[in-house]
Structure 1
Amino acid sequence: MKRRLECGHRGKGSYCHRCENEHRENERQVAREAATELQQRLAKKEKQAIKQAIRSVAEVDPIDLSALDHVVSLQAKARAIIQAILNGVCYRRFRGKRLLCAAHGDVISVPVGDHYRLLFGANPVRPLKLIHHETYNNLLHSDRLRSMHRHGTVSGR
């Protein structure tokens, strides 16, 4: 015969199976949430460690590559191109070009991916700046590039 249990449900057993199942499910949910929180904390620490490693590598870069922070693979490619050219590899191996205009003849442009260009001074070969291709296109048609080689920087964005 069914009787009323302590929880208010009715049953024949010594305890309420329905409440017991709910209790177990709540415990599982709490355990899942704790595991998820732990994974999130570990992932956050991992990301912070990666960012710190990237910052420490960026400190030794000869030029600012922070424009490529969002694309780590292109940043690594830019570092490899800079290192190779400084070690004597010809810039043409990386599809680089000496700018054709006589006023810009001392500047070498090397593409990094589809949207960025590395600019090098030609005599002696040294990295000057990493710029977006739109800035590069505007720079070609201005007088700012003439002063870049003299001062070692590019004004603008």
Structure 2
Amino acid sequence: MVRRRRKWRKLFACGHRGFGRYCHRCDAFSTGKRDRTTEIQPVVVDVRRVKKPKRDHSWYQRFDRDPIELRHLPKSIVIKTRRILDLLDLGVAPGELKGRRFNFDRTLLRIPVSYRYRLLCRWQADRIVPLPVLSHEAYNAISHNRKQAKKR
């Protein structure tokens, strides 16, 4: 087995140690990259006097217009689900959204929202009706046909 050479740190004239040809710390100060006299001092603000912005109620009002209940979901999942629902309303095929039918009920669709959440839909003659968004635990119970999916 070949032995590796041990690389020794050099002691520079300034007193710092390193592997390079020159001291990078002292070089940074000499070239002005880190000049402490020109650094911006932080502004101290009294937190008690700063007014809090008013709460944006448009996020909460949008839940009333959603076709299914989304309040119990995390924000990122709500945004993705709304995007999928908008695309379904525009007439995008479920296959383009990676939606698939169940084997035991061909009118029931599953569309992945994320790794942990699935959107269930019912395929009717003229449109696709969204059913609730399920976590992977609840989805597994339906996918193995242990629980009956809600019929509308």
Query: TM-score, normalising length from structure 2?
Result: 0.63
User: Quick one: distance in 2 between partners of 1:111 and 1:36?
Assistant: 43
Work out which of the residue numbers 30, 33, 49 in structure 2 matches 1:38. 49
Query: For each residue in 1:110-154, what CA deviation from the matched residue of structure 2 results, as whole angstroms up to 9, or x when unmatched?
Result: 011111111111113111111111101012232412xx23xx2xx
Detail structure 1 runs of 4+ shifted over 6 Å in the superposition: none
Q: Secondary structure at the match of 1:62?
A: coil
Query: For each residue in 1:40-65, what CA deviation from the matched residue of structure 2 results, as whole angstroms up to 9, or x when unmatched?
Result: x41xx44x32xx22111111000001
User: Quick one: distance in 2 between partners of 1:73 and 1:59?
Assistant: 18
Gaps spanning 5+ residues in structure 2: where?
A: 1-43
Check whether the contact 2:101–2:108 (CA below 8 A) recurs between aligned residues. Answer: yes
Post-superposition shift, 1:99?
A: 1.0
Number of the residue aligned with 1:25: none
Work out which of the residue numbers 122, 133, 136 in structure 1 matches 2:136. 133
Query: TM-score, normalising length from structure 1?
Result: 0.61
Q: How many residues align?
A: 106
Please identify which structure carries the higher helix content: 1
Q: Which structure would you say has the larger RCO, counting Cα contacts within 8 Å and 6 or more residues apart?
A: 1
Query: For each residue in 1:21-78, what CA deviation from the matched residue of structure 2 results, as whole angstroms up to 9, or x when unmatched?
Result: xxxxxxxxxxx67x21233x41xx44x32xx22111111000001132x3x2321110
Query: For each residue in 1:74-122, what CA deviation from the matched residue of structure 2 results, as whole angstroms up to 9, or x when unmatched?
Result: 2111001011112210111111111122xx2111100111111111111
Check whether the contact 1:86–1:126 (CA below 8 A) recurs between aligned residues. Answer: no
Number of the residue aligned with 1:78: 81
Number of the residue aligned with 2:148: 144
User: Quick one: distance in 1 between partners of 2:59 and 2:81?
Assistant: 14
Gaps spanning 5+ residues in structure 1: where?
A: 1-31, 153-157
Report % sequence identity: 25
